Amino acid sequence: MTSNFIFTSESVTSGHPDKICDQVSDAVVDHFLKQDADARVIAECAISSGVMFLSCHYASAAPALDISEIARRTITEIGYPKEVFDAADCAILTSVMDHSRSDYIPMNLDAMNDAKLDTVTARQQASVFGYACDQTKDLMPLPIWLAHRLAHRMDVIYATNKLPYLLPDAEIQVGFEFHNFQPFRLHSITLVATQHDDSDIRLEDLRKDVMDKAIEPVLKKEKITFDADTIININPEGPRKGGPAVHSGLTGRKTGIDTYGGYARSSGAALSGKDPMRIDRVGAYIARYAAKNVVAANLARECEIQLSYSIGIADPVSVRVRTFGTSGLDDSVIADRLKEVIDFRPGGIVRELGLKTLSDQLGGFYRKLAVYGHMGRSDIEVPWESTAIASKLI
């Protein structure tokens, strides 16, 4: 494998239809968990022009929720103008299944001893991955890290009405040239911003506005430079319409954006719309936690953690570490140290990271993860981004 290459990663803003669906799904999860920390929830939705379909399977002691109202409130907060997507008048079709009589099992994980935690087994089959590297201060791959910052900046520009002709739907691709597996120079930024149908903004003015108000401020803040050969493409195909009226959306369709931008492996399973007892969600979080602490402890410059779970078994059947030749230790030694420090059982993960109570404590938590990635977040307090156990691995 060549050590010199160009790698690109993509992020999108909060008004992208796929991300609307992720946010609505996680808003439903948050609302259940605020009322009942033991709630089991699976929420998925699809959106198109003027219509949303929202499915929810749940088991909870909480009173029934109006999930269509949660969806309308979330769409309103994203900020589409009524003429593009009207949160109040759009059709929302719901399918709600209450499994509380058969599947609701309250669990006080904090009070469980080790033997009791062994009874909290995986209810899904899953192989999940976590990754960390020293390319950025947040120990994330640089292409997706910068793409998320540009997406966030575009959302700020929209929310503060600095460019009133824009819609909250934008796509950003960032490319870096790598030498010897390390970022060497910024190769390219392609940013596609969408506009109102009646916008009379000239294309050259839009490009200048986006460069001046989005790209240059982010690069300056993050101390990333571009040279004469860096390719900056802003709406390369001209003006673009956006939002659900133009392209449909679906929960869980942006797994690369949610994780490592394709630079490292991910399980492929959706993260949003699932309660914290779903191992295909929280397993990805604890794997990131493990990988980040390995790199933070300077045991490796790059680390991938693979965890495999089988239905009915608490412990992962596999804990595999790969450091890609960047560690002075054998990968199996690092794996053994991680197993001594981290409880990888489903109940242990939820207890260690406090995942059941975050929605209530923070006034909504999981919806915040549905844009700008679930990993590498430093703008919000995320427990799996802590490096508190790094010293225990040395």
Residue 324: what pLDDT?
98
C-beta atoms surrounding 238 within 10 Å? 7
Separation CA 268–CA 252 (nearest Å): 9
Residue 1: what pLDDT?
56
**Residue 114 contacts by C-beta under 8 Å, 6 or more apart in sequence?**
none
Tens-digit pLDDT string for the chain (394 aa) = 578 999 999 999 999 999 999 999 999 999 999 999 999 999 999 999 999 999 999 999 988 889 999 999 999 999 999 989 999 999 999 999 999 988 898 999 989 999 999 999 999 999 999 999 999 999 999 999 999 999 999 999 999 999 999 999 999 999 999 999 999 999 999 999 999 888 889 999 999 999 999 999 999 999 999 999 999 999 999 999 999 989 999 999 999 999 999 999 998 899 999 999 999 999 999 999 999 999 999 999 999 999 999 999 999 999 999 999 999 999 999 999 999 999 999 999 999 999 999 999 998 999 999 999 999 999 999 999 999 999 999 9
C-beta atoms surrounding 96 within 10 Å? 16
Separation CA 15–CA 85 (nearest Å): 10
Tokens representing 371 are 């844009």
Query: Residues 355, 357, 359, CA angle at the centre, nearest 5°?
Result: 95
Domains defined for the chain, CATH in brackets? 5-13+142-243 (3.30.300.10), 17-104 (3.30.300.10), 115-135+276-393 (3.30.300.10)
**Residue 96 contacts by C-beta under 8 Å, 6 or more apart in sequence?**
55, 56, 57, 58, 64, 67
Residue 233: what pLDDT?
98
**Residue 216 contacts by C-beta under 8 Å, 6 or more apart in sequence?**
none
Q: Which residues pair with 45 in a beta bridge?
A: 54
Residue 384: what pLDDT?
99
